[in-house]
Each structure stands twice: as C-alpha cells, then as structure tokens.
C-alpha cells in the first residue's frame, strides 16, 4: 500500500481537533505505524545460500609441478608471444585485437553494462520532473449542463508542476541494486578480456599449425624427390637387367601417395591462412599476404611456479575473474531481493500553477500557485509468497554460480598443472628428437661416403635418407608441440592479463540487511 501526505490547500471536510486532541492522536498513531513497519513485513527467514566458494590460496599443485622456494616466481608478460620472435605473428595479433567482430560484440556488452550501472546509480540522486498541460474549453449554452455564467464562453484549464522526489534508501534496496550493477559491469569487462584471450589462443593454434604444415611440406617435397630418384634408379637397373619390374612398380607406387600428401598439406596451409584472416576480422583475400611463419623460442622460455599458487596470481585468469564478479553480482541480487521485504519510502515535494475556467493571462497569478510536500510509503504485508519466491530464486542462482566458480577454479589448476607437465615433457622430447636427427644425419653421411667409395649401392643411401626424413618429420612435430605447450601454459596462467581490481572475499558474500525504522 502507498501512504501520501495531503497536498497543501486541500479541503478537510471533517471537524479538526484542536489543542490536546491533535497531540494525543498524533502520538497514538506513531506506535501503531512502528508496529505496522516491524510486524507487517513479509518474512524472509530461512532462505539463505547453501554454498561457499573455494579458497584458491589453500589449493596446491602436485609435487611434480613444484619449484624450490628460492626460485623466483615467473608470470606471463602482457605481450608474452614476443618470445616466438616472429614479427608477422605480432602484426596479425595486433590486427585481430583491433578488428575482430568477436571483440566488438564483447565491447558492446561492456557498454551496455556501463549504462546499466549508471541507471542503478541514478536512483540515489534527487529526481526533478516537470509536467504541464494547457487546454481551451468552449462551454455549452445548454442549461442542462449547468454551465451558468460560463455558458457560451471560452476559458482555459491549465496546470504546470515541478515534482521533486528523493529515495533515502533506508533499507539498502538501491545500494544492493548498485552493487549488483557494478559487479555485472566488472564481470562483462572480465568477459571481454576472456574473449580477447580466446581469440589469441585460436590465432596461436592456427599459426603454429601453419608453421608445422609448411615444415612437413618441405619434408614431403624432399621425400618425393627422393622417390623419383629411386624410380629412375630402378628403371636403369631394369634396362641393364639387374632389377625386376616388380621393384620398379613398387618404387613408382610411392609417388602418387607422396603427391597426395603434398596436395593435402597445400590444402591445410590454405585453410589455415583463411582461418587467420577470419579470426583477424579480415576477408580471406588478406591471407594472400601471409608469409611462411618463422617461429622460434630464441630464449629459454620457461615459467616456474610455486607449488601453492596465491589467488593474486591464479586469479588473474579472465574466466576466474569473470566467475567471481558473477558471484558478486548475484550476491547483490540476493541483497536486493531481501531488501524488497522491507518498506520503501520516498520523499516528495510538488510546486505548481493551477487554473480552472480562467483566462490565459491569469494562469501566472500568485493566487493560482499550489504546493505540497510529504512522503510515499509502500509496505509489503501479504503477497502470496512472491517475495520469498524471488529471494529463493536469487539464492539458488547464487548457489549454482558458486558451484560453477568452484568447478572453474579446479579446472584452472588442472590446466596449469597439465601445461606444466606438457611443457617440460616437450622440452625433454625435443632434446631426444634432435639427437635422433643428428644420428640419422650421421648414418646418411656414412652411407654417402660408402657409396662414393663403391662399398655399397645407392639404395642404401636412399634408405638412410628415408630414415632421416622420418626423424626430421618427428622433430617438427615435437617442435610444434613445444611451441604449443609454451603458448598453452601462458594462456592457462591468464595470458599476461592483469586486472586493476580483483573481487575480494567480502564481494562474494551477500550482506546482512537489518530493519531500521526511520
């Protein structure tokens, strides 16, 4: 219900008490109003959140991921991909971060949240509104309408009002809405950084795959040339009567297989180039300018982490930041739903000019001025359980978000641990793969030397070369894995993103609102 004070100047038709009578009635109403405020509100008791967010500071990595306490903690730089020493990669990432439609969508959501926050903040400000109406009335001459002396004349019915209103927010309803809106804004900003990180991840995956396909194509092309030499050698052996047509057919059968592999690699390279253009917000024709990637980790690019990751570090992951701000926004939603159980009070003041059945010039006379001041009070008494239902929905959404945050946190730690394992494994595998290539190169040189001295035939040389190609292909795979593991580890750690403010524990918990009667 809404209670308003009577406007100034309004007629009171019942007899007015005087003196002691007015004092007694005023003081007798005050306890009744207080009791109504305290006892008439719907009851929010018993509806509280059931879940608690995990404390990231208490979570540890496994033993194999730990480092000595004396080792410094390294963390990704903001432009950590410069460790790949590829200017073209830098150019395309910069292009993508400036023109990607995905980021433009995220930017629009941030702007929407910004204006929603401003809308919530406006409820704390004094509101001033103006209304005016002017109408000319032509009175009828028919006496049945009772127009009397106004019959057949024209008159003006005008009014203009200035309304001043202010919500003192005695029970924290507006503060809860503002907290919810600000947290939602922070969440959208974190989601924008997450979209940026996802875009970086996609571009790096495609770019590393493009580099691998180029390297594999070089090996496949060299292998094709070798197979042609083997076929030519078998043709000579057949002509000299030293070989068989079976051997010649077997050598020729390898040619279309390798040629098909080359076509497949050409297709993969073209598709990678098209994906890079699309991810960067460019038309596919822009991929025509792409050169072959020149990726290399010129430095000892490793990240060492403590076994116990503090929240200030692991919490820089945009998905975790977004999940925590989502919790804060939903906590504000619980506060808002709980505040809805309590009265809502507005202070009102009106100032206006009123005129009925007068001339237009008389409207501005001081005698036509009117004013009022009072308060409007709304108090929930019986609502069929609607407010309890809304509070229950808010707490259930909060509990679901807590579970989602806990799952995101555990998955983040698993990803960090997995990428540490993969990074160290890829480094070890690369050492072994390089040793295998070195040994294969030595065997190939020995076979060439033996052939030049007439100690063996050329087929042994080609066989050693085939083994060298196999080891080179394996090494390129391991190189790509190491590049990818380094990229994924940086991305798992948040990709160098640093937020000016992280949500604290107090932000994640609903606040307790108490009834404070004015």
Report how far residue 499's alpha carbon sits from residue 274's, in angstroms, rounded to the nearest whole number.
Answer: 33
Please give the pLDDT value at position 60. 66
Domain ranges of the chain: 47-508
Predicted confidence pLDDT, tens digits, the chain (518 residues): 333 333 333 333 333 344 434 333 334 444 545 545 554 556 777 788 888 887 766 666 665 555 433 344 456 677 888 888 889 998 999 899 888 899 999 999 999 999 999 988 888 888 889 998 888 877 777 767 666 676 767 778 888 889 888 888 888 888 888 999 999 999 999 999 899 888 988 999 999 999 999 999 999 998 898 888 888 887 887 888 877 777 778 778 888 988 999 999 999 999 999 999 999 888 888 888 889 998 887 554 555 565 555 556 677 788 988 999 999 999 999 998 888 888 888 888 988 888 777 777 777 777 788 888 888 888 878 888 888 899 999 999 999 999 999 999 888 888 888 888 888 888 889 889 999 999 999 998 998 888 777 787 777 888 888 889 899 999 999 988 888 888 888 888 888 777 778 788 888 888 765 444 33
Nearest to 87 by CA among 328, 294, 394: 294
Give CATH superfamily name and number for 47-508: Outer membrane efflux proteins (OEP) (1.20.1600.10)
Pairing status of strand 2-4 against strand 127-138: unpaired
DSSP line for 165-192: EE---TTSHHHHHHHHHHHHHHHHHHHH
In angstroms, the Cα distances linking 337 to 47, 323, 403 are 11, 21, 21
Please give the pLDDT value at position 206. 93
Beta pairing partners, 351: 162, 371
Backbone φ and ψ for 22, nearest 5 degrees, come out as -65, -40
- Residue at token pair 């409820």: 123
User: What 3-state DSSP class applies to 398?
Assistant: helix
Report how far residue 87's alpha carbon sits from residue 427's, in angstroms, rounded to the nearest whole number.
Answer: 24
Q: How far, in whole angstroms, is CA 233 from its chain's centroid?
A: 62
Tell me the three-class secondary structure of 402-442, residue by residue.
Answer: HHHHHHHHHHHHHHHHHHHHHHHHHHHHHHHHHHHHHHHHH
């Amino acid at each position: 219900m809404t209670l308003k004070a009577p406007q100034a100047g309004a007629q009171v038709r019942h007899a007015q008490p005087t003196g002691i009578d007015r004092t007694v009635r005023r003081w007798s109403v005050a306890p009744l109003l207080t009791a109504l405020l305290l006892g008439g509100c719907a009851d929010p008791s018993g509806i509280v959140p059931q879940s608690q967010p995990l404390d990231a500071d208490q979570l540890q990595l496994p033993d194999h991921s730990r480092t000595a306490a004396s080792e410094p903690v390294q963390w990704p730089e903001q432009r950590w991909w410069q460790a790949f020493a590829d200017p073209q990669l830098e150019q395309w990432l910069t292009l993508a971060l400036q023109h990607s439609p995905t980021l433009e969508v995220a930017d629009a959501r941030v702007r929407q949240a910004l204006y929603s926050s401003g809308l919530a903040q406006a409820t704390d400000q004094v509101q001033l509104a103006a209304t005016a109406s002017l109408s000319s009335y032509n009175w009828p001459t028919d006496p049945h309408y009772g127009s009397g002396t106004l019959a057949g004349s024209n008159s003006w019915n005008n009014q203009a009002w200035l309304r001043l209103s202010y919500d003192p927010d005695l029970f924290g309803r507006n503060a809860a809405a503002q907290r919810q809106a600000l947290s939602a804004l922070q969440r959208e900003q974190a989601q924008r950084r997450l979209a940026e990180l996802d875009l970086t991840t996609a571009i790096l995956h495609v770019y590393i795959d493009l580099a691998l396909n180029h390297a594999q194509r070089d090996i496949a092309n060299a292998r094709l040339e070798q197979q042609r030499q083997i076929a030519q050698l078998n043709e000579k052996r057949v002509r000299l009567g030293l070989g068989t047509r079976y051997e010649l057919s077997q050598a020729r059968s390898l040619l279309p297989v390798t040629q098909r592999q080359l076509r497949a690699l050409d297709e993969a390279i073209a598709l990678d180039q098209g994906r890079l253009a699309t991810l960067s917000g460019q038309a596919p024709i822009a991929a025509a300018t792409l050169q072959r990637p020149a990726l290399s980790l010129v430095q000892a690019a490793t990240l060492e982490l403590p076994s116990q990751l503090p929240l200030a570090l692991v919490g820089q992951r945009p998905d975790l930041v977004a999940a925590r701000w989502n919790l804060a926004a939903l906590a504000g939603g619980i506060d808002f739903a709980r505040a809805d159980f309590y009265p809502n009070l507005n202070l009102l003041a009106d100032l206006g000019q009123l005129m009925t059945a007068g001339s237009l010039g008389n409207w501005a006379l001081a005698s036509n001025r009117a004013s009022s001041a009072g308060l409007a009070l709304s108090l929930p008494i019986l609502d069929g359980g609607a407010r309890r239902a809304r509070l229950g929905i808010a707490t259930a959404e909060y509990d679901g978000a807590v579970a989602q945050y806990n799952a995101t946190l555990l998955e983040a730690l698993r990803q960090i641990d997995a990428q540490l394992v993969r990074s160290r494994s890829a480094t070890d595998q690369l050492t072994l793969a390089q040793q295998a290539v070195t040994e294969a190169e030595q065997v190939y040189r020995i076979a060439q030397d033996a052939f030049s001295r007439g100690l063996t035939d050329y087929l042994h040389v080609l066989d050693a070369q085939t083994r060298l190609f196999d080891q080179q292909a394996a090494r390129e795979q391991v190189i790509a894995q190491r590049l990818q593991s380094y990229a994924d580890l940086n991305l798992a750690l948040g990709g160098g993103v640093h937020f000016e403010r992280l949500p604290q524990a107090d932000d994640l918990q609903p606040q307790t609102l108490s009834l404070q009667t004015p």
